[in-house]
Amino acid sequence: MMTRMVMQRIGIGFATLIVVSIIVFIATSILPGDVAQIVLGQSATPETLAALRAQLGLDQPGYIRYFSWLGNMMTGDLGISKAGGATISSLIGGRFGNTMMMAGFVALISIPISIALGLWAAMHPGTWLDRLVTFGTLSLISVPEFFIATVAVLILAVELHWLPSTAYMTGEETFFELMKALAMPLITLVIVVSAQMIRMTRAGILNVMSSPYIEMAILKGVPRGRIILRHAFFNAIGPIINVIALNLAYLVSGVVIVETIFAYPGLAKLMIDGVQTRDLPLVQACAMIFCGTYVILILIADVGSILSNPRLRNPK
């Protein structure tokens, strides 16, 4: 049952990737200008445009370019950046590591904090602490991340000089120096993703708390802490895992604003650059990574919620 579901999901995942690649291809082609025009910019003349298009193989019809890209992709060859001439794998390589490192650190910090705070708030509903957490998270969800980032830079970097204002890495720093360089984006992202996860943990648990079997446990005199940790938490874990998965996917693909403000060389910014230069192979490669991340994380979340739920684990 489980294996079948996983296989099915992987199959659907591949289909999704193909569909996404077609949509990305068409969308990029609809945008005004091609990579030759963007690269030459204001200094383009019809002759240099034609010469560059021929060099880049842009004089081929669209579908041929798509299928040749797809064919190379299947053999693991990501191709060459049309805009700069570097191989896509060399462009993506370091940045993929950076993105994963950032996402990893943020997850390591924010998931324990969020679940702990969410549980805490659920254990003491209606107290001033719960209200504080609720108020804090609601406010932080409503504030856009660029605002949090900019305020953090103004206070911590420009005024107090405690932390660097950009996540500038030399590549030779110690772990402590690395943490210092990454501190600002880490703080910003932890705030942004934690708020949502705290809310969801609290809501999920309180939702389960109103079900009859919890009422039974309360009537039997089980302490509230034990009810939540032993009985409620595992039943609420499905939606929590899903929110965590979505937030992780966001950390991989959607942090372009934070990457821009802190000049952090990550994947999301690379994809935007790719779109701006109409660098199709680059955009496609990034889209595949992002889409693949979503598919895998959602799959893990689904498997997780099935495993945590006996009714789903053993269907009749």
Partner 1 sequence: MKDDKSKSELNYKDLTQSDKDLVAKLVKGGFSRREVLKLSMVTGVSLVAAEHLLFNGKAAIAATPKKGGSVRMSSNLHGPDDKLDPATFTSTIDYTRGRATYNSLIQHANDLSPQPELAESFEPNGNATEWTFKIRDGVTFHNGGKLTADDVVYTMKRHQGEDSTSVIKSVLASVKEWKKTGPMEVKAILESPNADLPTLLGLFQTKIVKNGTTGYTQKEDGSLEQNGTGPYIMESFQPGVKSVHTRNENYWREGANLDACEITAITDPVARVNALISGDMDMVTQLEPNSFRQVESAKGVTLLSTPAALQMGICCLKNSEPGSSDDFVKGMQYIQDRKRIVKRILKGKGSLGNDTPISPAHGKDWCSELPQREYDPDKAKFHFKKSGYTEAELFVAPVSGGIEDICLTAQANCAKIGFNLKLKKVPTDGYWGAVWMKEPLNVVTWNMRPTANSQLGIQFGPGAAWNDTFWNNARMGELLAQSLAETDPAKRHAMYCEMQTLVHNGSGMVIPAFSNINDGIADNVMGMPTVPLGQLGACEWPEFIWLA
DSSP 87: B
Distances 161 to 179, 227, 262, 264 between C-alpha atoms, Å:
16, 47, 15, 19
* Span of 16-24, 108-116, 127-135, 261-269 interacting with partner 1 by CB under 8 A: 261-269
CA distance 47 to 44: 8
Q: How far is the CB of 36 from partner 1 (least distance, A)?
A: 9
Site string for partner 1, 214-243 (x = CB under 8 A): ------------------------------
Residue in 262, 281, 255, 291 with CA at minimum distance from that of residue 100 = 255
| Sequence-distant (≥ 6) Cβ neighbours of residue 281 within 8 angstroms | 69, 78, 79, 80, 81, 82, 88
Residue 260 binds partner 1, judged by CB under 8 A: yes
Residue from 153, 183, 241, 287 binding partner 1 (CB under 8 A)? 153
CA distance 110 to 289: 23
Residue 277 binds partner 1, judged by CB under 8 A: yes
* Side chain identity at residue 65, one-letter code: R
Site string for partner 1, 8-47 (x = CB under 8 A): -----------------------xxxx--xxxxxxxxxxx
Residue from 10, 19, 26, 86 binding partner 1 (CB under 8 A)? 86
Q: Are 249 and 293 in contact (CB under 8 A)?
A: yes
Q: Are 20 and 291 in contact (CB under 8 A)?
A: yes
Residue from 165, 305, 308, 309 binding partner 1 (CB under 8 A)? 165
CA distance 14 to 288: 10
Residue 4 binds partner 1, judged by CB under 8 A: no
* Span of 7-15, 68-76, 164-172, 212-220 interacting with partner 1 by CB under 8 A: 164-172
> Token digits for 164?
């660097």
Q: How far is the CB of 240 from partner 1 (least distance, A)?
A: 34
Binding site for partner 1 (CB under 8 A): 31-34, 37-48, 51-52, 55, 81, 83-86, 90-91, 94-95, 150, 153-154, 157-158, 161, 164-166, 168, 170, 260-263, 265, 269-270, 273-279, 282
